[in-house]
Amino acid sequence: MRTIAAFIKNSRKKHGLTQEELAFKAGVGLRFLRELERGKTTVQLDKVNVVLNMFGKELGITDKQPENDQ
């Protein structure tokens, strides 16, 4: 979830949006967006896709990448 959180926060800033503006445009609550950007693991996935959709993205399933043994 941290990768999604970082993507959303970085994309929001790149587009010059405040949390309030993005929440309004995406139609989600400000509290939800703040929790999403903090990486809270209990957020509702349908709402995550609503926010990601603002940046032309959506959640999907991919194979987990193997971790490098170092």
Sequence-ordered list of residues with C-beta below 8 angstroms from that of 7, at least 6 positions apart, any chain: 52, 55, 57
What pLDDT sits at residue 66? 82
For the chain, what is the domain count?
Answer: 1
**Which of 46, 44, 48 minimizes the C-alpha distance to 5?**
48
What pLDDT sits at residue 60? 83
Check if the beta carbon of residue 26 is closer than 8 Å to that of residue 15.
no
How far apart CA 54 and CA 64 sit, in angstroms, is: 25
What pLDDT sits at residue 67? 77
Range of the domain at 47: 2-53
Task: List the chain pLDDT tens, one digit each, 70 residues.
Answer: 578 899 999 999 999 999 999 999 999 999 999 999 998 887 788 899 899 999 999 888 778 778 775 5
CATH number, position 21: 1.10.260.40
pTM for the predicted model, two decimal places? 0.72
Please check whether residue 60 lies inside any domain of the structure: no
